[in-house]
């Protein structure tokens, strides 16, 4: 008996010793460099210190020790880092695809302290083994001077981002430049849900749960500092995911004729991290009878593939190994499922791995209000109205793991942040934008990839108009009715415009604020404003050449009448003269004249030719930024195909698109001129507009003479070619 | 629509009566001229004769903004307008040439013998062209444009001349003629409003529109004026038995033509509308068959590829280059938007439309799943893109190796996009649209700018959505699309699980029904007016024969 046990033990030892070594998933950490952003603080100051690392791809754990005993660490945070702290140190452990900037909150003491370095160490081991010092950067901070009194400024809210987006949860993060309270108001239509915390902190994070899948949530943030100064953001948005990630689960089926209800078990070796190409995953599975299959999923459990290599199928224990092929940049939720011969199955815990081979880029974009594409006005700004919901689609290449759009109001400098969601194809991210205050906004998109790399691109200038008001010269006129009429293009008769197909109401009965606006498509219209006791007011007849926000401040006049006791009697009073002057002010082509130099480029076209800055010289050029995923761009491509290519260079550039996709589309569309692949945004980064389609008119010398961001007809293009 | 139809028939009837009344007056003056053969009487009967024919031609003119272009072009309208002005001028000259009747001498007061030459003759009224300021004149050319302004001047001048004769002169019996021409002048003046239909004032735009209230005012004024003129001339024509008989016969013939014309055109419009809806219902089914044909085509391509031994062997050996070479020409030649080859696990080995994307799994795709079980099927699915959805026909077939073991699948897809509906339009002339769920995915309808189509718009709330999308039934009726009133037929589109995923729609502008009818209406009117004129000859001889027998 003893010999048997001994032989079995020996066999086990040998098996373990001879078992092929699982390759180490994380890289070898050779060096580390970090910088801190604040080098001087006053006494008794609560400060957020940002530590920036040159490369975090191989770092699993970071420890930060205070520079002197005059500092008390009281907070730590970092995107996808699991942070903890004591008074002396802050510890960060990788929790997924992490950012390269982490934050430590610290309170300075009541005495000055000489300049001293923060002690920062990093390790490629979660436990902190073989940690190395992060040197080479500036980590010095000193305390000097008395505390600043009389704070009357509210905290500055910045760095708003959303993490942990699932079908039912989201975590809203933001920072303030001084310790402040945490408050979020959120909801679907009404912001009727809220979370409030009076704890003063500079790193704010609120986890929301019980959300509904696939819907747009609106929220605004408030933070109040110790002196009761409060700051509030505009309205921000995020969209919950539609497809849930399968949670670890066990399914017992018991095939007909089988009484086996015992599911298998599965282990899945931890690999998590950032990789340039797909890593190899390993693990084991076991079952009481026999294992039938081991499969994996890289999309959260939607689709499954058999593991590449499984040893032991058909027996009670098996080892598996797989390496997903051809993974593009991005985050992948990897799961393993083991199934036994009775069809009982088990799904492992999920692991998130990040593939990061390319830097992120923001490519072309389209902006819609409902079904209507929005284009810049004559001055280059896109016009919308307060509280109108806009749909934004952005092409983000380079394996973006999150894309946010930040709209900064020029007047106040306040940001509104809109989180986009991945559409799963064409590197397309979409989201909703809504502006709760009138003003001019500079809108930029920020893309982060799993390696912590960030790319930002200015998208557009959006001018948000206040809706038109209805007053009697002083007071708002509530319950006034505003009706839009359109001219039937066939019969020339005037009919009430059907707003419902454009997700709008017509007529509109205004509420307490007595405001209205319409986003009208192309056509001929007029507006009528009526209210009880007032003369009806009409606008002039006006033409709309592209979807345009329409509304005019209206002053209603009382109908003539008299009072009889408490009874007001008003005489009917017809209106003949239009008093609302509406001039949409958009030309039919929206062509903006400019003189600009084309950025140097050399790109491949779907027919194999190279198109470059030099190859277009000698003939005028029509260059359009297009994308197969954009409906309006496809419409533009079909127009470009009709242009006389012997007289004009016709170049259709697919920004952020690979050549094989464009080649296939050009063949399908029968587009003889071929599509040019600007895979890494060589051209789009040098041009002013990323809106698709945007058409540039370039003269024989390669100078951009004019441009237009909308679908142009053949005639409009020909008329603008600088022959 | 029926309002426009009745208004057009009212226009026909009023002008027919106007023609008859004018011809009656012409008859009266002709009778007077036949005794004396004076120039002034000649001009009067000639003028009224021309005016009568002008009204008969005007009766056949249809409102082109609503009823579409006339089969006679703009000729009839221009000709009628020109003839009317010439008639007015001729009558006016005739009236001016005819001196006023002498005023009788009163006892005790000595008057010189009246001298016609000393009386201030009325100046012939010259048609004045009033240059429009900001507005655009209507689309009538040449003399028609001039006549829009000249006609009211002519009729008002004639009214003034008759008033002079009835008040300054002694021809009190001509007062009704003054009232008649005063009302006709008002009608002609109201017709000038048609030149200002492009005004930017919405009140005036609706007033001046075809069949707007100024149009009705114009026609009612004319009807009242013609009533006065008709009653006046009837009183004189009935003085003689022959002329009375002639006018009775003519009026009866006209009434018969009028009743037949209006009744016929009414039936015509009704039938055209009913036929249009029936045709649309058939057409939307044809569109459904076209979608089914696309399913068959994609299935055929998938099965043909799946049956290829070269493809099977390339799949077994994972020879992607060979798979690419075998499939690269198929996408453009078959107009496919997607062509995917998977292995038996559902792993994508080739995505022909984007060869760089492969290796992912489609094991959850219902078509792939069914194909791997040996059931090749087709479906229609909705793909969401920015701005608008795309309806896609997808088919899958299983690939077997030489031992009939399933080794993978071929999935082919084709977008039901603008190119698809354009081809339908080219083949059938129908305006067709495709909805993905409740949003417009493809259409041949263009926006008022004539080039863009507002894809992504909703199907609208109410009966259409309830019937087609919620209850999976067909719908026919009137809808408002792209700033146009349309007659439309809808039918639901279902996926492989029999769930509604969209709708097909074919439509015709409602005005096209009137426009089709308009051409027939005008032809009917022209025929009726021509027959009416032709009937004058037998009516004349029959009347004369009867009257002679009685005499």
What is the interface size between A and B, counted as CB pairs within 8 Å?
A: 189
If we measure between CA atoms, which residue out of B38, B35, B171, B161 comes closest to residue B102? B171
Q: Could you tell me if B136 lies within 8 Å of chain A, comparing CB atoms?
A: no
Nearest to B460 among A298, A485, A500 (CB): A500
Q: How far apart are the first and last CA of chain A?
A: 99
Nearest to B202 among A501, A523, A541 (CB): A541
Q: What predicted TM-score, i.e. pTM, was given to this entire model?
A: 0.71
Q: Which residues contact B144 (CB under 8 A, 6 or more apart)?
A: B74, B77, B78, B81, B82
- Chain A residues whose CB is inside 8 A of the B362 CB are 303
Q: Does pLDDT of A588 surpass 90?
A: no
Average pLDDT of A303-318?
Answer: 92
User: Can you list the positions of beta strands (E) in A387-517?
Assistant: 389-397, 400-409, 415-422, 428-434, 439-449, 454-465, 468-471, 481-487, 494-496, 508-509, 515-516
Tokens of A261: 């209800």
Between CA B483 and CA B505 the distance in angstroms is 17
- Please report, rounded to a whole number, the percentage of residues in chain A having pLDDT higher than 90: 15
Closest residue, chain A, to B197 (C-alpha): A492
List of long-range contacts for A15-24, beta carbons under 8 Å, 24+ apart = A22/A269, A22/A280, A22/A282, A23/A279, A23/A280
Between CA B507 and CA B521 the distance in angstroms is 23
- DSSP code of A500? G
CB contact under 8 A, A423 and B331: no
If we measure between CA atoms, which residue out of B418, B307, B305, B310 comes closest to residue B352? B305
Q: Which residues contact B414 (CB under 8 A, 6 or more apart)?
A: B294, B297, B298, B334, B335, B336, B337, B392, B393
The list of chain B residues with pLDDT below 50 reads: 111-144
- Chain B residues whose CB is inside 8 A of the A500 CB are 458, 460-461
Average pLDDT of A467-471?
Answer: 90
- Interior/surface letters A58-74, b for 16+ CB within 10 angstroms, e for the rest: bbbbbbbebbbebbebb
Q: Could you tell me if A423 lies within 8 Å of chain B, comparing CB atoms?
A: yes
Between CA B291 and CA B297 the distance in angstroms is 10
Q: Could you tell me if B203 lies within 8 Å of chain A, comparing CB atoms?
A: yes
Beta-sheet strand order (sheet of B406-415): B348-351, B338-343, B406-415, B388-400, B378-385
Which pLDDT does position B276 carry in this prediction? 85
Which pLDDT does position B121 carry in this prediction? 39
Give the closest-approach CA distance of A652 to chain B in angstroms: 18
**ipTM surpassing 0.85, yes or no?**
no
- DSSP code of B324? H
Between CA B150 and CA B152 the distance in angstroms is 6
- DSSP code of B124? P
Q: Does residue B453 contact residue B433 with C-beta atoms inside 8 Å? A: no
Q: Which residues contact B350 (CB under 8 A, 6 or more apart)?
A: B320, B323, B324, B327, B339, B340, B341, B358
CB contact under 8 A, A305 and B346: yes
Which residues between 27 and 66 in chain B have a beta carbon less than 8 angstroms from any beta carbon of chain A? 65-66
Between CA B430 and CA B138 the distance in angstroms is 30
Q: Could you report the per-residue pLDDT of A251-293, keeping only the tens digit for each?
A: 666 566 677 788 899 999 988 778 888 899 999 999 989 999 9
Closest residue, chain A, to B366 (C-alpha): A303
Highest mean pLDDT among A56-65, A352-361, B312-321, B481-490: B312-321
CB contact under 8 A, B359 and A327: yes
Which pLDDT does position B451 carry in this prediction? 61
Which pLDDT does position B347 carry in this prediction? 93
Give the closest-approach CA distance of B357 to chain A in angstroms: 7
Between CA A214 and CA A241 the distance in angstroms is 5
> Are B307-415 and B418-509 equal in CATH topology?
yes
- Sign for the CA dihedral angle at B233, B236, B238, B242 comes to negative
Q: Does pLDDT of A336 surpass 90?
A: yes
CB contact under 8 A, B347 and A305: yes
Which residues between 340 and 379 in chain B have a beta carbon less than 8 angstroms from any beta carbon of chain A? 345-347, 352-365
- Chain B residues whose CB is inside 8 A of the A327 CB are 359
Q: What is the CB-side half-sphere exposure of residue A500 using CA atoms within 13 A? A: 10
Q: Is A569 exposed, middle or buried (0-12, 13-18, 19+ CB in 10 A)?
A: exposed
- Chain A residues whose CB is inside 8 A of the B458 CB are 371, 500-503
Q: Could you tell me if B466 lies within 8 Å of chain A, comparing CB atoms?
A: no
Q: Which residues contact A176 (CB under 8 A, 6 or more apart)?
A: A48, A155, A156, A157, A158, A201, A202, A204, A223, A225, A231
Residue with tokens 């302290």: A113
Candidates A324, A337, A491: best to mutate against B (most CBs of B within 10 A) is A491
Pairing of strands B484-494, A518-520: unpaired
List of long-range contacts for B27-36, beta carbons under 8 Å, 24+ apart = B27/B233, B27/B237, B27/B243, B27/B246, B27/B247, B28/B233, B28/B236, B28/B237, B31/B240, B31/B243
CATH number for region B307-415: 3.30.450.20
Which pLDDT does position A547 carry in this prediction? 81
CA B296 to chain centre: 39
CA B9 to chain centre: 15
SS3 B479: strand
Q: Does pLDDT of A297 surpass 90?
A: yes
Between CA A660 and CA B196 the distance in angstroms is 57
Q: How far is CA A4 from CA A9, A19, A63, in A?
A: 8, 22, 50
Q: Does residue B353 contact residue A665 with C-beta atoms inside 8 Å? A: yes
CB contact under 8 A, A631 and B346: no
Q: How far apart are the first and last CA of chain B?
A: 53
Between CA A507 and CA A485 the distance in angstroms is 9
Q: Does residue B305 contact residue B327 with C-beta atoms inside 8 Å? A: yes
If we measure between CA atoms, which residue out of A656, A662, A187, A208 comes closest to residue A447? A656
Q: Is B289 exposed, middle or buried (0-12, 13-18, 19+ CB in 10 A)?
A: exposed
Q: Could you tell me if A525 lies within 8 Å of chain B, comparing CB atoms?
A: no
- Chain B residues whose CB is inside 8 A of the A524 CB are 448, 483
Q: ∠ CA A441-A410-A382 to the nearest 5 degrees?
A: 25
Which pLDDT does position B226 carry in this prediction? 92
Q: Could you tell me if A371 lies within 8 Å of chain B, comparing CB atoms?
A: yes
Residue with tokens 């894309």: A403
- Chain B residues whose CB is inside 8 A of the A366 CB are 386-387
Q: Could you report the per-residue pLDDT of A92-145, keeping only the tens digit for each?
A: 888 766 777 888 888 888 888 888 999 999 988 878 888 888 887 888 888 888
Tokens of B408: 């993978």
Nearest to B345 among A305, A526, A528 (CB): A305
CB contact under 8 A, A393 and B363: no
If we measure between CA atoms, which residue out of A451, A448, A406 comes closest to residue A431? A406
Q: Could you tell me if A431 lies within 8 Å of chain B, comparing CB atoms?
A: no
Q: Could you tell me if B449 lies within 8 Å of chain A, comparing CB atoms?
A: yes
Q: Could you report the per-residue pLDDT of A644-702, keeping only the tens digit for each?
A: 888 899 999 887 777 888 888 888 777 877 888 888 777 877 776 788 888 999 999 88
Between CA A123 and CA A102 the distance in angstroms is 15
- Chain A residues whose CB is inside 8 A of the B461 CB are 500
Alpha helices in B192-346 (DSSP H): 202-208, 213-237, 241-306, 309-316, 320-327, 330-333
If we measure between CA atoms, which residue out of B252, B138, B152, B140 comes closest to residue B197? B138
Residues present in chain B in total: 551
Topology given in CATH for the domain delimited by B418-509: Beta-Lactamase (3.30.450)
CB contact under 8 A, B200 and A575: no
Between CA A683 and CA A568 the distance in angstroms is 68
Residue with tokens 């990040």: A354
Residue A284 CB: number of other CB atoms within 10 A?
A: 18
- Interior/surface letters A594-616, b for 16+ CB within 10 angstroms, e for the rest: eeeebeebebbbbeeeebeeeeb
Average pLDDT of A453-473?
Answer: 87
The mean predicted confidence, pLDDT, of chain A is 83
Give the closest-approach CA distance of A39 to chain B in angstroms: 47
Between CA B208 and CA B189 the distance in angstroms is 12
Q: Could you tell me if A432 lies within 8 Å of chain B, comparing CB atoms?
A: no
CB contact under 8 A, A302 and B364: yes
Which pLDDT does position A500 carry in this prediction? 80
Tokens of B273: 């509308």
Q: Could you tell me if A575 lies within 8 Å of chain B, comparing CB atoms?
A: yes
Which pLDDT does position B323 carry in this prediction? 92
List of long-range contacts for A148-155, beta carbons under 8 Å, 24+ apart = A148/A42, A148/A45, A151/A178, A151/A225, A151/A226, A151/A227, A151/A229, A152/A227, A152/A229, A153/A229, A154/A223, A154/A224, A154/A225, A154/A229, A154/A230, A154/A231, A155/A179, A155/A180, A155/A223, A155/A224, A155/A225, A155/A229, A155/A231
Which pLDDT does position B407 carry in this prediction? 92
Residue A93 CB: number of other CB atoms within 10 A?
A: 18
Between CA B373 and CA A255 the distance in angstroms is 19
Between CA A393 and CA A376 the distance in angstroms is 16
- Domain segments of chain B as ranges: 2-98+135-275+513-550, 307-415, 418-509
CB contact under 8 A, B363 and A430: no
Residue B479, beta-bridge partner list? B486
In this prediction, residue A149 has a pLDDT band, given cuts at 50, 70 and 90, of low
- DSSP code of B374? T
Average pLDDT of A536-555?
Answer: 86
Give the closest-approach CA distance of A655 to chain B in angstroms: 15
Q: ∠ CA B61-B484-B445 to the nearest 5 degrees?
A: 115
Give the closest-approach CA distance of B132 to chain A in angstroms: 19
Give the closest-approach CA distance of A523 to chain B in angstroms: 5
Tokens of A162: 């959303």
Which pLDDT does position B97 carry in this prediction? 86
């Amino acid at each position: 008996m003893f010999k048997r046990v001994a032989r079995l033990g020996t066999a086990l030892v040998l098996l373990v010793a001879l078992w092929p070594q699982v390759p180490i998933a994380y890289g070898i950490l050779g060096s580390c460099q970090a910088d801190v952003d604040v080098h001087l603080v006053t006494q008794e100051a609560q400060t957020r210190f940002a530590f920036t690392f040159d490369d975090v791809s191989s770092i699993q754990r970071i420890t930060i020790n205070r520079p002197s005993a005059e500092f008390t660490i009281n907070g730590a945070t970092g995107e996808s880092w699991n942070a903890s702290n004591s008074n002396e140190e802050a510890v960060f452990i990788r929790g997924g695809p992490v950012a390269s900037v982490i934050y430590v909150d610290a309170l300075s003491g009541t005495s000055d302290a000489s300049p001293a370095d923060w002690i920062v160490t990093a390790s490629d081991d979660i436990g902190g083994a073989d940690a190395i010092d992060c040197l080479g950067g500036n980590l010095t901070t000193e305390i000097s001077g008395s505390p600043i009194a009389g704070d009357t400024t509210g905290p500055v809210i910045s760095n708003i981002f959303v993490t942990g987006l699932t079908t039912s949860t989201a975590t809203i993060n933001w920072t303030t430049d001084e310790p402040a309270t945490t408050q979020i108001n959120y909801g679907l239509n009404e912001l009727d849900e809220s979370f409030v915390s009076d704890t003063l902190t500079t790193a704010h994070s609120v986890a929301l749960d019980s959300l509904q899948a696939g819907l747009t949530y609106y929220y605004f943030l408030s933070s109040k500092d110790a002196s009761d100064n409060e700051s509030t953001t505009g309205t921000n948005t995020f969209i919950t995911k539609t497809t849930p990630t399968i949670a670890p689960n066990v399914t017992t089926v018991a095939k007909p004729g089988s009484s086996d209800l015992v599911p298998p078990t599965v282990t899945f070796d931890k690999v998590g991290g950032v990789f340039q190409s797909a890593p190899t995953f390993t693990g084991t599975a076991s079952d009481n009878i026999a294992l039938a299959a081991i499969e994996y999923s890289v999309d959260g459990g939607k689709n499954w593939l058999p593991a590449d290599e499984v040893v032991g199928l058909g027996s009670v224990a098996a080892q598996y190994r797989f390496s997903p092929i051809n993974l593009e940049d991005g985050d992948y939720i990897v799961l393993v499922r083991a199934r036994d011969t009775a069809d009982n199955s088990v799904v492992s815990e999920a692991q998130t791995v990040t593939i990061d081979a390319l830097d992120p880029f923001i490519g072309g974009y389209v902006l819609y209000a409902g079904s209507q594409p929005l284009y810049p006005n004559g001055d280059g700004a896109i016009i919308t109205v307060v509280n109108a919901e806009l749909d934004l689609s952005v092409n983000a290449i380079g394996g973006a793991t999150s894309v946010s759009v930040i709209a900064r109001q020029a007047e106040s400098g306040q940001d509104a942040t809109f989180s986009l969601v991945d559409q799963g194809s064409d590197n397309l991210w979409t989201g909703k934008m809504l502006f709760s205050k009138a003003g001019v906004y500079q809108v930029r998109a920020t893309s982060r990839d799993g390696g912590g790399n960030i790319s930002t691109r200015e998208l557009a200038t959006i001018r948000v108009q206040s809706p038109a008001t209805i007053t009697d010269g002083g007071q708002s006129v509530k319950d006034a009715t505003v009706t839009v009429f359109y001219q039937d293009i066939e019969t020339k008769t005037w009919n009430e415009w059907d707003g419902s197909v454009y997700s709008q109401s017509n007529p509109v009965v205004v509420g307490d604020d007595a405001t209205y606006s319409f986003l009208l498509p192309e056509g001929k219209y007029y507006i009528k404003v009526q209210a009880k006791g007032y003369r009806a007011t009409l606008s002039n007849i006006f033409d709309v050449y592209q979807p345009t926000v329409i509304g005019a401040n209206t002053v209603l006049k009382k109908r003539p009448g008299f009072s009889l006791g408490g009874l007001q009697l008003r005489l009917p009073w017809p209106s003949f003269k239009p008093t609302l002057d509406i001039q949409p002010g958009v030309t039919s082509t929206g062509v903006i004249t400019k003189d600009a130099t084309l950025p140097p480029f050399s790109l491949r076209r779907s027919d194999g030719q190279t198109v470059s800055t030099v190859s277009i010289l000698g003939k005028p050029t029509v260059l359009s930024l297009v994308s197969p995923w954009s409906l309006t761009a496809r419409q533009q491509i079909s127009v470009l195909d009709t242009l006389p290519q012997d007289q004009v260079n016709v170049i259709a550039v697919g920004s952020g698109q690979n050549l094989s996709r464009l080649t296939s589309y050009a063949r399908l569309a029968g587009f003889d001129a071929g599509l040019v692949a600007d895979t890494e945004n060589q051209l789009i980064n040098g041009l002013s507009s990323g809106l698709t389609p945007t058409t540039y008119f370039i003269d024989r010398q390669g100078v951009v003479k004019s441009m237009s961001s909308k679908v142009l007809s053949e005639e409009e293009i020909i008329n603008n070619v600088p022959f | 629509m029926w309002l426009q139809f009745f208004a057009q028939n009212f226009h026909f009837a009023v002008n027919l009566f106007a023609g008859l009344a004018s011809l009656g007056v012409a008859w009266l003056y002709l009778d007077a001229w036949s005794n004396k053969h004076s120039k002034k009487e000649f001009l009067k009967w000639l003028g009224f004769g021309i005016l009568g024919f002008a009204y008969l031609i005007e009766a056949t003119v249809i409102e082109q903004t609503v009823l579409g272009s006339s089969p006679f072009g703009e000729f009839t309208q221009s000709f009628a307008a020109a003839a009317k002005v010439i008639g007015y001028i001729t009558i006016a000259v005739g009236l001016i040439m005819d001196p006023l009747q002498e005023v009788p001498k009163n006892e005790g007061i000595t008057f010189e013998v009246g001298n016609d030459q000393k009386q201030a003759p009325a100046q012939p009224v010259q048609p004045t062209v009033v240059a429009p300021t900001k507005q655009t004149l209507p689309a009538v050319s040449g003399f028609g444009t001039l006549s829009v302004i000249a006609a009211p001047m002519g009729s008002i001048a004639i009214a003034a001349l008759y008033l002079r004769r009835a008040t300054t002169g002694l021809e009190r019996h001509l007062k009704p003629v003054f009232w008649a021409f005063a009302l006709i002048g008002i009608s002609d003046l109201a017709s000038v409003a048609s030149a200002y239909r492009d005004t930017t004032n919405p009140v005036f735009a609706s007033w001046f529109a075809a069949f707007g209230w100024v149009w009705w005012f114009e026609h009612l004024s004319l009807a009242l004026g013609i009533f006065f003129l008709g009653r006046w001339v009837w009183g004189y024509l009935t003085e003689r038995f022959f002329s009375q008989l002639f006018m009775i016969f003519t009026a009866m013939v006209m009434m018969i033509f009028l009743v037949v014309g209006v009744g016929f055109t009414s039936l015509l419009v009704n039938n055209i509308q009913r036929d249009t809806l029936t045709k649309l219902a058939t057409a939307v089914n044809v569109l459904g068959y076209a979608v089914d044909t696309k399913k068959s085509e994609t299935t055929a391509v998938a099965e043909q590829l799946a049956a290829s031994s070269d493809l099977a062997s390339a799949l077994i050996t994972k020879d992607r280059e060979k798979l690419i070479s075998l499939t690269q020409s198929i996408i453009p030649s078959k107009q496919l938007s997607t062509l995917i080859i998977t292995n038996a696990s559902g792993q994508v080995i080739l995505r022909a439309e984007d060869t760089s994307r492969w290796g992912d799994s489609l094991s959850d795709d219902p078509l792939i799943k069914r194909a791997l079980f040996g059931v090749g099927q087709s479906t229609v699915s909705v793909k969401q893109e920015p701005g608008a959805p795309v309806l896609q026909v997808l088919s899958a077939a299983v690939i077997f190796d030489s031992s009939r073991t399933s080794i993978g699948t071929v999935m082919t897809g084709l977008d039901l996009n603008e190119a698809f509906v354009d081809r339908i339009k080219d083949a059938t002339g129908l305006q067709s649209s495709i909805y993905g769920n409740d949003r417009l995915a493809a259409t041949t309808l263009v926006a008022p700018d004539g080039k863009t189509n507002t894809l992504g718009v909703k199907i609208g709330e109410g009966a259409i959505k309830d019937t087609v999308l919620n209850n999976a039934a067909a719908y026919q009726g009137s809808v408002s699309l792209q700033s146009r009133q349309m007659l439309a037929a809808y039918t639901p589109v279902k996926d492989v699980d029999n769930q509604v995923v969209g709708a097909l729609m074919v439509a015709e502008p409602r005005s096209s029904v009137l426009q089709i009818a308009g051409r027939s209406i005008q032809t009917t009117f022209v025929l009726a007016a021509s027959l009416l004129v032709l009937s004058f000859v037998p009516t004349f001889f029959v009347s004369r024969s009867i009257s002679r027998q009685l005499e």
